[in-house]
Amino acid sequence: MDIEKQYIEDVDKLIPRPDIALDVLALAQDSSTAIEGIARKIEQDPNLTANMLRMANSAYFGFMREITSVKDMVVRLGYDMVKILAITSASAGLLNSPQEAYNLEPKALWHHSYACALLASIIAKHANVENVSPIYTAALLHDIGKVLLNRSLQREIANTKLDKKFATLVELERFMLQTDHAKVGMALLEKWGVPDDIVIPVGYHHTTGEEKSNLLNSQIVYLANYLVESIGIRALKEEDYMFRVDDFPDIYQELPNVPNFQDNMESIMEEFFYQFREVAGTIE
């Protein structure tokens, strides 16, 4: 982890810790926390509040009466959904910038990350996971290491004459930087004090066959990331998204065997596309 520490040493200059959103996660985990306490914490950040209210009033939730206050939002949506809205809203600011080394336009990383989080949560529900929130959060933040490595990778690519080809970006990262965005993202979240059930899937979302990568949370984030890449949701135009359920069995044997996924794949993907279209555009 020594190499990863080099990349997160001055992290606050590049990625400010989303203190309020992480505090909301912690408060919502505590059954003794009053609704008023969570509402006051959220209201300390006007941008977070505005984004959360926009999401809560999106067509996906379908409330007849508009939610106009944070307290009302907590009461009507519940703690688990408020955790998801808080970390989603906060992450948009962290992931919106272009990542040139990865050929990602502005908002492309955010679209990919949000899509992964949404799909991972749906897969987790079908797998009968009791606590979906850590999986959603891990999938949302799985690529945060790219923000930290972007400039260094850009510089190395510009200054190095490459005489070999790489099958994946992860291989390129490891060759150029002796680490990869998954490991650096894991180190960052550990520094921020994020729980292991979020940290571990972030660190192993490109890994198979190891003990920690075999944990169900890790397998779900790995699968969701693979599927979203297959669909093409780094693209910003819906007409560029493509996924054929009929093509999937040919490659599924190479992917984690997540409970109930293959039998329910069509309904999972339908639910994912509906939710993504309804909510993604409400966040700034």
**Any residues with CB less than 8 A from the CB of 274 and at least 6 apart, and which?**
60
Residue 148 C-alpha from the chain's centroid:
15
Considering the chain, what is the average pLDDT of its residues? Answer: 86
- Write down all domains in the chain, each with its CATH number in brackets: 2-282 (1.10.3210.10)
Tokens representing residue 107 in the block: 């908002």
pLDDT above 90: residue 177: yes
Residue written as token pair 């529900």? 125
Report the C-alpha gap between 241 and 230 in whole angstroms. Answer: 9
Residue 223 C-alpha from the chain's centroid:
13
Question: 36-50, 74-88, 186-200, 246-260: which has the minimum mean pLDDT?
Answer: 246-260
pTM for the complete prediction? 0.87
Q: DSSP letters of 1-30? A: -HHHHHHHTTHHHHS---HHHHHHHHHHH-
Q: What is the largest CA-CA distance in the chain?
A: 61
pLDDT at 32: 80
pLDDT at 245: 61
pLDDT above 50: residue 235: no
pLDDT at 236: 45
**Any residues with CB less than 8 A from the CB of 132 and at least 6 apart, and which?**
80, 121, 124, 125
pLDDT at 186: 95
Instruction: Return the number of other C-beta atoms located less than 10 Å from residue 160's C-beta.
Output: 10
Residue in 73, 69, 65 with CA at minimum distance from that of residue 28: 73
* Helices of type H across 96-132: 108-126
Report the amino acid identity of residue 263. D
Give 40-69 pLDDT, tens digit per residue: 999 999 888 998 898 888 877 777 788 999
Residue in 121, 60, 58, 57 with CA at minimum distance from that of residue 87: 121
Give 94-150 pLDDT, tens digit per residue: 888 899 999 898 888 998 999 999 999 999 999 999 989 899 999 999 999 999 999
Beta bridge partners, 104, equal 99
Banded model confidence at residue 230, pLDDT cuts 50, 70, 90: confident
Residue written as token pair 């190395």? 156
Give 13-32 pLDDT, tens digit per residue: 778 888 888 888 888 877 78
Identify the DSSP state of 205: T
